[in-house]
Amino acid sequence: MERYQVAIIGGGSAGMTAASGMASLGAKVALIEKRNSLGGDCLHFGCVPSKALIKTANMSHDMHEAAEFLGLSISGEMSFEKVKERINQARSTIQSHDSSDRFTDLGADVYFGEASFESDHIVNIGDGESIYAEKIVIATGSKPVIPPIDGIETIPYVTNESIFDLPALPAKLGVIGGGTVGLEMAQAFSRLGSEVTVFEGADRLFSKEDRDITRFMENEISKELEIRLNTKVVQAAYENEKSVLTVEQKGQQTTEAFDVILVAAGRKPAIDSLKLEQAGVEKVKGFIHTDATFRTSRPHIFAVGDTVNTLPFTHAAGEEAKTIVSNVLFGLRNTLDHSNTPWVTFTVPEVFHLGMTEQEAEDKKIEYKVFRAHLNEVDRFITAHETRGFVKFITDKKGYILGAHAAGTDAGEWMQLAVYAKKNKMKIGTLSRMVYTYPVKAGAVQKAADMFWREKLFDGPLPKLTKKFFDFKFKLSGGKVTPDQQPES
């Protein structure tokens, strides 16, 4: 039986980050992935293909808008095969960066097989092969939740794992779930030409966002999609080659037929096949239970990424993996403050989220201030005709950033300034005192930050004091212009 200092189960963002870091430091590492290639859900079914799809859909949408504005005509039909070709090109390019050779070159051994625990130190990889590891990292990611809808198994629904393999663009797409995945895919398919309806059980979309963002985005997204809030899907059936959903809203039931149903009702840890009980690893509410250092109930076994109840994002998983490298190898107790971890919903407009919302600040009874800027006040957005959206900062009474939120074109790019400022405990005024190239979209951040100084300098006692000073100086001069103020002849 091969022996390792560390075995890492899962070859996605977290697993690859941990394996790279530990192998680079000289540890003997085994990286185990159940699929026949590395990259995880993000590469194969998540971030990469979805963003390639979104970009392609936005190209189509923008092209038609531009043609209408410029008086041009567009002929021909959109090729869904070409759409999928762009998606596959993106996947294959990034896959080459995540090849197993990269890790074997670092000295790690890469195994492809379904991992499960035989004991707290022995991991079975399938076909009777097992390895021994002093330390083990679980980074197996997550999988789609299939809600208990009567008859759901009778329809050929798709999830994020299969939607990119559709043979043709559906004329009518029904989406169960109005979360990040559901809304991103719904808008993308709508922009490609599908008629899309989103069914959401809650009373609002973007439920984790600041309420100002929620209200704005619900209005924006409803311009392109049919949104059914407070709606429960109670039954599914397959009739005449259509998927028929029975939905209930305000006690009334209706039925509607679709060509394709996307189930986007959330995700759960992909840990069912690991046989955690054989290793003595405990779960809480379906997630692996860890302490703040990502140690499980077995101190030599760690868990990161979507297997634990933190933030379900690729970049969060990668940061957790960086955090545990020294914990695993050297016994340190490093932790990660996710209050400085942002996320972005890649709809149009994009939605950026960092830290507290205004409602969370209220609930915690924090004395806070709000600084805003609307994109229709920012020259770069005006010239690009992309003025829909705004920026909102929440600070404490001294100006230290508690939260930063935005909706707007490319918000995920230009709002990264806020992450740096918050992580480094800067006041919002610091963002105002930077020199910004003119004109750039980050000018929205500058304009919001300028409001801090406007309030501090012009809304407080200073203007009254300076007015008294200048009035006094004017009186001393007898109401005359002093020599140093004389205009040149």
Report the binding-site residues: 51, 140-142, 177-184, 200, 266, 306
Task: Read off the tokens for 56.
Answer: 């392609």
How far is CA 301 from each of CA 9, 120, 310, 381, rounded to the nearest angstrom? 11, 8, 17, 49
Provide the angle, in degrees to the nearest 10, between the axes of the packed helices 314-330 and 13-24. 30
How many CA atoms within 13 Å lie on the side-chain side of 456? 14
Task: Read off the tokens for 454.
Answer: 């406007």
Q: Please name the residues in contact with 81: beta carbons below 8 A apart, sequence gap of 6 or more.
A: none
> In which element (H, E) is residue 236 found?
strand 231-239
Provide the angle, in degrees to the nearest 10, between the axes of the packed helices 180-192 and 47-70. 40
Q: Which residues are annotated as a binding site for NAD(+)?
A: 177-184, 200, 266
218/140 Cα distance (integer angstroms): 34
Task: Read off the tokens for 88.
Answer: 């596959």
CB-based contacts of 144-148 (< 8 A; 24+ apart in sequence): 144/263, 144/264, 144/265, 144/266, 144/267, 145/265, 145/266, 145/267, 145/268, 146/263, 146/265, 147/176, 147/233, 147/263, 147/265
Task: Read off the tokens for 149.
Answer: 């809808």
Q: Which residues are annotated as a binding site for FAD?
A: 51, 140-142, 306
Task: Read off the tokens for 275.
Answer: 């046989």
How far is CA 411 from each of CA 93, 174, 386, 389, 404, rounded to the nearest angstrom? 25, 28, 11, 9, 11
Phi, psi of 212 (to 5 degrees): -65, -40
